[in-house]
Structure 1
Amino acid sequence: MTNKHFVAKIVPLNEAKIGTAAHGNASFDIEGDQLKISIEMWDTPAGIQHWEHFHGFPDGQDAAIATMTQDVNGDGFVDLPETEPVSGTTMVPFNDAPADMNIPNDEYPVADDQGHFAYTKLVPLSKLSANFKAAFNDTALALDKRVIYIHGVPSGLNLPASVAGEVGHYDAHVTLPIAVGKIEVK
């Protein structure tokens, strides 16, 4: 997988309930043993940390973005578990150390007062592939079969008890998807 370029247009999810339409762009550039990840977001909930990951299916099935049709319990929110049938599981985090694949932590971007953040990271593919294989029994990142999610709403936002998504000691405020994009070969 040398010298490949992937992009994703990131569109809002749950915007009617969270009061902002988070949107942005992502690019993934593979050159030799380096993966350069660049993500820029606007109109995210301001002043808070936003988890961001690519999701997919370990069996190589093509992932699709979740829409409000995935709100199977009818509470008006598409929560993390409701994304799984179309998007698969959380795979690689876009935090301070993506190759470590340590998903629940506090090392993700924080939006400024206007809800903007930009994230860029160079990742050694050999390390990422080794950890990906250990987690999913596959070394193929298959970016064109993945989707990117941006998560996170303020802890003061009133979420109904039906909104699920606890990961470790992090509650649904941290994991609620606010934007999603399909990763495509460019």
Structure 2
Amino acid sequence: MVEKYKAEIVPLNEAKIGKKPHGTATFTVTGNNLDIKIEMNDTPENTQHWEHFHGFPDGKDAQIATIEQDKNGDGFVDLPETEPVSGTTMVPFNDAPEEMDMPNDKYPVSDENGHFEYQRVVPLDILEKKFQEAFGDSKLNLDKRVIYIHGVPDSLELPDSVAGAVGDYDAHTTLPIAVGKIKKI
């Protein structure tokens, strides 16, 4: 049996970053494999873009953040402001999603035109085991998740009110620039 999911990825924070990042993500479950394909356009150029799916460990249906989530009124929707509607960061789309190692430099980098493509085939049993260790349930529930694309150049001036530092990475790395609701197709 094959299960397919898709997200239409729309811009977030576009007024502040001067770009309208957009794209698509598809997730295909076939047997023990999860095939992940993400293509993005109009992202900040030559920039590493963290990308993850976010959701609620209790199974609540995650929704995309909009400018309405800018609770401190600084004009940016930062990572902590997405959590009430989108939940927590769950699975990274880096060089090894099944390891669930979030903060690292192994994410896609956009080209000089702001384009990147990402594709990985992930062993579902390993991912589900790590997911269960982290969240207490092995079910990915993709149709209850949202995908976020993060990352702006260090040269973009961010006010001190923009939060989201993770380990050695500051808000430039974690600032959400695009988001999409994952839906079963």
Aligned partner of 2:147 in structure 1 is 148
> d(CA) in 2 for partners of 1:86 and 1:3?
29
> d(CA) in 2 for partners of 1:130 and 1:3?
20
Per the TM alignment, residue 185 of structure 1 is displaced from its structure 2 partner at its CA by 0.3
Aligned partner of 1:29 in structure 2 is 28
Give deviations 1:43-64, integer Å, cap 9, x for gaps.
Answer: 0000010000000000000000
Give deviations 1:24-59, integer Å, cap 9, x for gaps.
Answer: 000000000000000000000000100000000000
- TM-score if structure 1 supplies the norm length? 0.99
Per the TM alignment, residue 160 of structure 1 is displaced from its structure 2 partner at its CA by 0.3
Aligned residues: 185
Per the TM alignment, residue 94 of structure 1 is displaced from its structure 2 partner at its CA by 0.1
Per the TM alignment, residue 165 of structure 1 is displaced from its structure 2 partner at its CA by 0.1
> d(CA) in 2 for partners of 1:52 and 1:61?
21
3-state DSSP of counterpart to 1:169? coil
Give deviations 1:46-105, integer Å, cap 9, x for gaps.
Answer: 001000000000000000000000000000000000000000000000000000000000
Aligned partner of 1:116 in structure 2 is 115
Q: Percent identity?
A: 67
Alpha-carbon RMSD: 0.4
> d(CA) in 2 for partners of 1:3 and 1:34?
10
> d(CA) in 2 for partners of 1:29 and 1:171?
32
Q: Which runs of 5+ in 2 are unaligned?
A: none
Q: Which runs of 5+ in 1 are unaligned?
A: none
Per the TM alignment, residue 3 of structure 1 is displaced from its structure 2 partner at its CA by 1.1
Equivalences for 1:36-185 in 2 at 5 Å? 36-185=35-184
Moved over 4 A (4+): none
